[in-house]
Amino acid sequence: MTDAADEPAVGAVSQLVPATLKAMHALEFAGRHISPVTLPQIIEAMAGRDDEVEAALALSRTLDWPERLKPVRACLEPAAEAAARGIAALRSAGEAPQPIVGAYRALRNYAEAAQAIYPMAAFLKPVSQFFLEQSARGDADLAARLAAIDPAREKVGVIHAGGPPGTRGAFSLYVPETYDEGRACPLVVALHGGSGNGGAFLWSWVREARTRGFVVLAPTAIGTTWSLMDPDTDGPSIDAMVEHVAGQWNIDASHQLLTGMSDGGTFSYVLGLRGGCRFTHIAPVAAAFHPMMLTFADEARLRDLPVYIVHGVKDWMFPPQLARQAEQTLSQAGAKVTYREIADLSHTYPRDENAAMLDWFMS
């Protein structure tokens, strides 16, 4: 039974949680469909999307929270603030000198909201389910296994190494709370796009990793983007990160996927086609490709290399012809290429493609 002194704060929680998750869903929708062409419609769609979360925040701020619930407040209010800030910034993106740039910046608030609210997944069912694939939200066995985990367990969950999230040359990591050291875990190394960072891009993968039980490593480039013209800058850094992770957790050497978005996808080609590459699979998304890349590739490495290419028909930065050329060129070189061209995708990350990519990776 709830203590009478706790009732106002519990009421605030019951409003903050669904309002924040709803606002985060709105940001996910915007992030999936954003482009210079669709931006006016997305701005219009954001009208009123922060009303509920702003009202919940206003209520929460008026309360004198009990001491024992202040850690909950310290998660929920920053998450709500970030989600509301992201929606408001999206609505005003049209007034920016470069509206699409303003919109991409607005979407960065999603990662801040996720980072803030995620610790509540161990205690609040709606938050836990938000960070699961939709198909698994009714999985009673998975729910029971998650509920049985000690929230204080070390070396699992979201981990940032080398500095705060997004520190240049550092990395962010997700180890599933259900991690069993007796079972080798698949590893996904996910490379952010230009001007992005691993701390933010990690959240593109946590939902699937938590559901399926694999480790996600999201490095941040040493410079403002990946060293595409000098792979010996970021390449050894990524290798060192993987070595570190493999030294701390039981990683399956036969299932190591290198994937990335935009510049991160291009760098997946650059690293993934070279001889001596440790990754068993590569999956570039919305990436640039040129046949000249094969002059630096290893012929033996290319033979039977599993490659999963994802590109949008509406990509305004790297036209789909580049991806079609990659499919043809790599297939002719002997790689086993799966090509996914998505009709409604622009130059943005399609989180809804993760499940199919992972099914391919683990098949």
Cα 341 from Cα 330, distance rounded (Å): 16
Query: What's the confidence (pLDDT) of residue 1?
Result: 40
pLDDT in tens, 2-35: 577 789 999 999 999 999 999 999 999 999 999 9
pTM: 0.96
Q: What is the pLDDT of residue 344?
A: 97
Average pLDDT over the chain, rounded to whole?
96
What local confidence, expressed as pLDDT, does residue 313 receive? Answer: 98
Closest by CA position to 349, among listed 210, 208, 144: 208
Superfamily of structural domain 152-362: Alpha/Beta hydrolase fold, catalytic domain (3.40.50.1820)
User: If you ran DSSP here, which 8-state letter would residue 132 be given?
Assistant: S
Dump pLDDT digits (tens) for 333-356: 999 999 999 999 999 999 999 999
pLDDT of res. 2? 58
pLDDT of residue 6: 84
Contact 199, 172 (CB under 8 A): yes
Which candidate, 256, 219, 217, 260, places its Cα nearest to that of 236?
219
Beta-bridged to residue 356, according to DSSP, are none
Instruction: Give residue 270's pLDDT.
Output: 96
Low pLDDT (below 70) residues in the chain: 1-2
Q: Between the CA of residue 289 and those of 250, 273, 320, 322, what are the distances in Å?
A: 33, 12, 10, 6
In this structure, the strands spanning 157-161 and 281-285 are unpaired
CB atoms within 10 A of CB 254: 8
